[in-house]
């Protein structure tokens, strides 16, 4: 039975009063920037799908699970290569020339302002290190990315590495180890609360036909820090975006920065991580090459994933 009036009696501590549960007609939206000024509660805290970004979408949840399962199934041993920042370029050169190594996914940098990305990028024969097609992710502060754009926009670079997306990582609050703080921040007008990533593609991939190489539109260009990411220098979101996008199994992460012993660089299955502070130094080019030849350079197609992942609409032949 439905009551005609949505009024009912509430017994408060002393008096009894009528409360009408009649709904408000107009749609209400909150201004979280204004709320931040009044209470200090940060706008990003009000996002409701931080812990599970695909909440409410069972198909996408299933896709994420399937992808995660398959990525871990085709992951190489977690490798660390502990080298000084000055030794990075010579080491990588040795891998390229002597060991004939190349990678399909190369990620450079992490969430700190104190990085030596520019010298690394200018000294490194990146086009030999990154295979074609290949994917390059460069993580830094938005100011650093800005400075780098001069290099990355010059003709030689832009031809080889096409800039494709700009990713953003947002720390959840000011206590976060990923909170950028005031570092190198004399002139900014707004307080920094984000890190940027320049995602480049080299070689040719087409999103409509190259489903064996890339899975487009699975992840988004925005990552917000979750609860379980405070135990190291690199939040897992950074790796996941690359893993979900490219099906390649040869992945390299170069961190040209000292992250210190308090925020260790942890290993991750499927990645070779080069850093002066990585927790383990177990990389051997030959062992790696062996493993990759067993795993294969790309994760094979899987029907469940193909059925679930967003695809380009099929062009009708005229």
| Residue 49 beta carbon to other proteins: minimum distance, rounded to whole angstroms | 4
Up-side HSE of residue 133: CA atoms within 13 Å toward CB?
18
Q: Does 19 bind other proteins (CB under 8 A)?
A: yes
Query: Which residues are within 8 A (CB) of 186 and not within 5 positions of it... i.e. 6 or more apart?
Result: none
- Pick from 54, 151, 292, 295: which binds other proteins (CB under 8 A)? 54
The interface mask with other proteins, positions 249-288, x = CB under 8 A, is -----------xx---------------x-----------
- CA dihedral (199, 83, 94, 268) positive or negative: negative
Residue number, 90 or 260, with CB nearest to other proteins? 260
Residue number, 184 or 289, with CB nearest to other proteins? 184
Query: Which residues are within 8 A (CB) of 291 and not within 5 positions of it... i.e. 6 or more apart?
Result: 76, 77
| Residue 83 beta carbon to other proteins: minimum distance, rounded to whole angstroms | 11
- Pick from 15, 16, 33, 294: which binds other proteins (CB under 8 A)? 33
Listed as own residue / partner, the contacts of 220-224 with beta carbons closer than 8 Å and 24 or more positions apart are 220/53, 221/165, 221/166, 221/167, 221/168, 222/167, 222/168, 222/170, 223/167, 223/168, 223/169, 223/170, 224/44, 224/47, 224/50, 224/53, 224/169, 224/170, 224/172
| Residue 205 beta carbon to other proteins: minimum distance, rounded to whole angstroms | 9
Question: Can you say how many angstroms the Cα of residue 193 is from the centroid of all Cα atoms in its chain?
Answer: 16
CA distance 260 to 263: 6
57-65, 118-126, 228-236, 293-301 -> range binding other proteins (CB under 8 A): 57-65
Q: Does 16 bind other proteins (CB under 8 A)?
A: no
Q: Does 196 bind other proteins (CB under 8 A)?
A: yes
- Pick from 12, 13, 56, 98: which binds other proteins (CB under 8 A)? 56
| Residue 181 beta carbon to other proteins: minimum distance, rounded to whole angstroms | 6
| Residue 214 beta carbon to other proteins: minimum distance, rounded to whole angstroms | 8
Helices (H), 32-154: 32-39, 58-73, 88-97, 117-123, 126-129, 142-152
Burial call 166-179: b when 16+ CB within 10 Å, e when fewer: ebebbbbeeebbbe
Q: Look at the chain and count its residues.
A: 318
Q: Does 201 bind other proteins (CB under 8 A)?
A: yes
Q: Does 220 bind other proteins (CB under 8 A)?
A: yes
Q: Does 236 bind other proteins (CB under 8 A)?
A: no
The interface mask with other proteins, positions 159-178, x = CB under 8 A, is ----xxxxxx-x--------
Query: Which residues are within 8 A (CB) of 187 and not within 5 positions of it... i.e. 6 or more apart?
Result: none
The interface mask with other proteins, positions 71-100, x = CB under 8 A, is ------------------------------
Q: Does 183 bind other proteins (CB under 8 A)?
A: yes
143: left (phi over 0), alpha (psi -120 to 50) or beta: alpha
- Pick from 74, 149, 211, 288: which binds other proteins (CB under 8 A)? 149
Q: Does 32 bind other proteins (CB under 8 A)?
A: yes
Both structure tokens of 211: 């489903």
- Pick from 15, 23, 156, 175: which binds other proteins (CB under 8 A)? 23
Number of residues binding to other proteins, judged by CB under 8 A = 86
Q: Decide if 200 contacts 162 (C-beta within 8 A).
A: yes
């Amino acid at each position: 039975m439905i009551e005609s009036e949505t009024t009912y009696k509430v017994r408060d501590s002393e008096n009894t009063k009528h409360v009408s549960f009649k709904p408000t007609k107009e749609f209400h939206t909150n201004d979280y920037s204004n709320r931040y000024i009044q209470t200090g509660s940060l706008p990003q805290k009000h996002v409701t799908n931080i812990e599970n970004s695909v909440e409410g979408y069972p198909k996408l949840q299933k896709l994420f699970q399937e992808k995660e399962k398959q990525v871990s199934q085709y992951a190489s041993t977690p490798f660390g290569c502990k080298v000084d920042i000055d030794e990075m370029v010579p080491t990588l050169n040795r891998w390229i020339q002597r060991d004939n190594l190349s990678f399909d996914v190369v990620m450079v940098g992490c969430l700190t302002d104190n990085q030596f990305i520019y010298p690394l990028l200018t000294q490194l024969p990146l086009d030999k290190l990154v295979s074609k097609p290949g994917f390059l992710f460069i993580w830094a502060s938005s100011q650093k990315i800005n400075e780098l754009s001069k290099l990355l926009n010059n003709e030689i670079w832009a031809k080889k590495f096409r800039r494709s997306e700009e990713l953003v990582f947002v720390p959840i609050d000011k206590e976060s180890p990923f909170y950028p703080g005031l570092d190198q921040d004399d002139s900014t007008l707004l307080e920094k609360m984000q890190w940027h990533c320049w995602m480049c593609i080299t070689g040719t991939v087409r999103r409509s036909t190259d489903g064996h190489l890339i899975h487009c539109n699975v992840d988004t260009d925005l990552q917000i820090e979750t609860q379980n990411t405070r135990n190291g220098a690199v939040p897992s979101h950074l790796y996941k975006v690359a893993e979900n996008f490219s099906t390649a199994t040869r992945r390299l992460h170069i961190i040209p920065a000292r992250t210190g012993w308090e925020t260790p660089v942890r290993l991750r299955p499927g990645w070779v991580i080069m850093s002066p502070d990585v927790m383990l130094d177990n990389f051997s080019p030959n062992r790696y090459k062996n493993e990759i030849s067993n795993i294969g350079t790309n994760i094979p197609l899987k029907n469940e994933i193909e059925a679930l992942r967003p695809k380009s609409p099929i062009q009708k032949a005229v």
